Amino acid sequence: MRKTFAITLVLGLLVALFSVPTGAQDDRWDGSDDLETNPLACGMEEMMEEDAEEGDEEEMMEPMEYDGGSATDAPDMAGQDIVLVDVPKLVGIGYFAATTQGQQEAAEELGNVTVTTDAPTEANIDDQIQVIDSYITQGVDGILFAANDPVAIAPVLRTALESGIHVVGYDANSEPDAREWFVNQAEFNGIGKAMIDSLVDQMGEDASFGIVTSTFTTPNQARWISEMWAYASDCYPDLEWLETLEAQEDAVLSFQQAQTLINKYGEDLDGIVAMTSVATPNSADAVQQAGLCEDIAVVGLATPNDMKPYVNDGCVRDAILWNPVDLGYAAVYVMRAIIDGEFAPGDTSVMAGKLGELQVVNGSEVLLGAPFVFNAENINDFDF
């Protein structure tokens, strides 16, 4: 009896160690999901702006049909005070604290809007659904959301639309027809290009790099990575994709995963691409603590304040601005515009307070702008 256990134990261990699918390179993960990628034209990031424009023009040449939904017989609240609820993925993390901040700013400027933020305490699709549901029951004029899962959240959002509640998404999209508009920081392909460009510019076209992402299942990161892949394979086929590691939205894990990449690939590692505003500073921290600032470039999305220590001491050259505050800000303005009837399907742009006029792309997405890259020169202009 005991012998058999012992044997099974040993065997099992061997199985565990050797028979599991190994070789991260082999099935390198490119955020593959069924969706299409459309990489932008090649080029360095000084042309970034133009490229982005170009991208938009393309959109305009064959403008896509409005594919969002619409709130059925919503009460006309034009100009009146409205109550909005904002349901991000979860509460209690810095990122959505920032979006909330932006929404409050917008609400103050507009004066006739009140926004309350409420969301589950874990990034859990089911809890988010329940929160939204209870607000539908409670009755609000509009719902702002950042979806934990584009599909899972759709049914409840449709219910909202049916019961005459306006729905606008930001940061993380849902199925288009389940909401009216989606406020997008920057287009996926834009981000993908910016990342790769920055990396190539620092480490050359044959650089080899690893990726620290949140989880394989988070749609945004997945899309960006696949766009990166698409763009890179068009423009810089020599880039070597080493490995992609999950780090949730967790600082410690991001740090450790970055360390693991550094230690595992040693000199062979030229860059770390961080897909979340948590991963970027912590990867930078890891590189700095390992004293490899010269040898490893950290590229990623980040908020300026987090990056200041690393950018200012030159360990990180630049990062792509991720501006949750403006994101939240814009979302509220878009919602207001919808309700005031100033922004309807078919429009190609919308006014968003201090952000000026925002373009509409991909049918029903409001674009915050082209990806903005900040570096030692301009980082200190920001404070969030």
Partner 1 sequence: MTTMDKIKSTDAPMNLAYRLRSLLFSQEGVLFIIMIVSVLFLATRTDKFLTVSNLLQQGRFMTEVGLIAIPMTYIIITGGIDLSVGSILGLTAIILGWTWQELSFPLELAIITGIIAGTIAGFINGFFIVRVKVPPLIMTLATLALYRGLAEGISEAKSARGYPEWFFQLGQGDFLGVPTQLWLLIVAVIIFAIILARTQTGRALYAIGNNETGARFSGLTVDRYLLFIYTLSGFMSGLAGYIFVSRVSTTRSDMGTGIELDVIAAVVLGGTSIFGGTGSVIGTMIGVVLIQLLKNGLALTGVTSDATIIVIGSVLIFAILVNNFIQNRRLGM
Partner 2 sequence: MIAKQKALPARPKPIHFLGIILAAALLSAYLFLPFANQPELGASTIAMITESKKANELGIFTNGLALIPFASLGIFLLGMWNVIMPKASRAISLMMSVSGLLVIAYFINFIKDYAEEEATYISQMGIGFWIILIVSILTILQILIPRGITEARYRITKLYGNQESIIVFGLLLLIFVIGVANPRFLQERNLSDILSGNAYIAVAALGMSMVIITGNIDISVGSLVGLLAVISGRLVVAGLPTPMAWLIPLIVGGLFGAFIGFLVAYLKIPSIVVTLGMLSIIKGILIIWTNGERVTGMPEDYFLSQFRPLGIPMPIIIMVVLTIIVALWMKYSRTGRAFYALGGNADAARLSGLSQKRLLMTVFILNGVFVGIASVMYSTQFNIIQATPPPGLELSVITASVVGGVSILGGTGTVVGSTLATLLLNFIRSAMIFINVSPFWLKAVQGLLILFTVLADLIRRRRQRL
Q: List contacts with partner 2 (CB under 8 A).
A: 2, 5-6, 9, 12-13, 15-17, 20-25, 27, 29, 91-97, 100, 121, 216, 243-246, 248-252, 255-256, 259-260, 263-266, 278, 281-282, 285, 289-292, 305-306, 309
Interface with partner 1 in residues 198-217 (CB under 8 A) = 215-217
d(CA 2, CA 279) in angstroms, rounded, equals 47
Query: In which element (H, E) is residue 54 found?
Result: helix 48-61
Instruction: Spell out the residues 6+ positions from residue 45 whose beta carbon is closer than 8 angstroms to its own.
Output: 194, 197, 198, 201, 373
Q: How far is the CB of 13 from partner 2 (least distance, A)?
A: 6
The binder of 306, among partner 2, partner 1, none, by C-beta within 5 to 8 A per type, is: partner 2
Termini Cα distance of the chain = 64
235 and 229 Cβ atoms separated by less than 8 Å: no
Determine, following the binding rule CB under 8 A, whether residue 378 of this chain makes contact with partner 1: no
d(CA 359, CA 218) in angstroms, rounded, equals 25
Binding window for partner 1 (CB under 8 A); candidates: 27-35, 46-54, 270-278, 304-312: 27-35
| Amino acid (one-letter) located at 164 | G
Determine, following the binding rule CB under 8 A, whether residue 22 of this chain makes contact with partner 1: no
The binder of 152, among partner 2, partner 1, none, by C-beta within 5 to 8 A per type, is: partner 1
Using only C-alpha atoms, the chain has a radius of gyration, in whole angstroms, of: 22
Which residues on neighbouring strands pair with residue 360, listed in sequence order? 366
The binder of 131, among partner 2, partner 1, none, by C-beta within 5 to 8 A per type, is: partner 1
Determine, following the binding rule CB under 8 A, whether residue 130 of this chain makes contact with partner 1: yes
Handedness of CA 143, 130, 87, 361 (dihedral sign): negative
Interface with partner 1 in residues 134-193 (CB under 8 A) = 134-135, 137-139, 149, 151-152, 154-155
| Amino acid (one-letter) located at 86 | D
Q: How far is the CB of 291 from partner 2 (least distance, A)?
A: 6
The site that binds partner 1 (CB under 8 A) totals a number of residues, namely 37
358 and 366 Cβ atoms separated by less than 8 Å: yes
Give which of 184, 111, 235, 220 is closest to 361, Cα–Cα: 184
- The encoded tokens of residue 191 equal 């981000």
| Amino acid (one-letter) located at 321 | L
The binder of 124, among partner 2, partner 1, none, by C-beta within 5 to 8 A per type, is: partner 1
- The encoded tokens of residue 82 equal 């409205």
Q: How far is the CB of 150 from partner 1 (least distance, A)?
A: 8
Give which of 217, 204, 306 is closest to 255, Cα–Cα: 306
Q: How far is the CB of 35 from partner 1 (least distance, A)?
A: 11
Given 70, 116, 288, 378, the residue binding partner 1 (CB under 8 A): 116
Which residue number, 52 or 316, has a Cβ lying nearer to partner 2?
316
Determine, following the binding rule CB under 8 A, whether residue 49 of this chain makes contact with partner 1: no
d(CA 154, CA 152) in angstroms, rounded, equals 6
Which residue number, 198 or 244, has a Cβ lying nearer to partner 1?
244
Interface with partner 1 in residues 62-91 (CB under 8 A) = 91
Which residue number, 266 or 356, has a Cβ lying nearer to partner 2?
266
Determine, following the binding rule CB under 8 A, whether residue 25 of this chain makes contact with partner 1: no
d(CA 51, CA 138) in angstroms, rounded, equals 45
291: left (phi over 0), alpha (psi -120 to 50) or beta: left
Neighbours of 277 (CB within 10 A): 25
Angle at 135 between CA 165 and CA 79, to 5 degrees: 40
Determine, following the binding rule CB under 8 A, whether residue 124 of this chain makes contact with partner 1: yes
Determine, following the binding rule CB under 8 A, whether residue 121 of this chain makes contact with partner 1: yes
Which residue number, 119 or 327, has a Cβ lying nearer to partner 1?
119
Determine, following the binding rule CB under 8 A, whether residue 120 of this chain makes contact with partner 1: yes
Given 7, 12, 15, 33, the residue binding partner 1 (CB under 8 A): 33
- The encoded tokens of residue 180 equal 């009216």
Interaction site with partner 1 (CB under 8 A): 5, 21, 27, 29, 32-33, 91-92, 116-122, 124-127, 129-131, 133-135, 137-139, 149, 151-152, 154-155, 215-217, 222
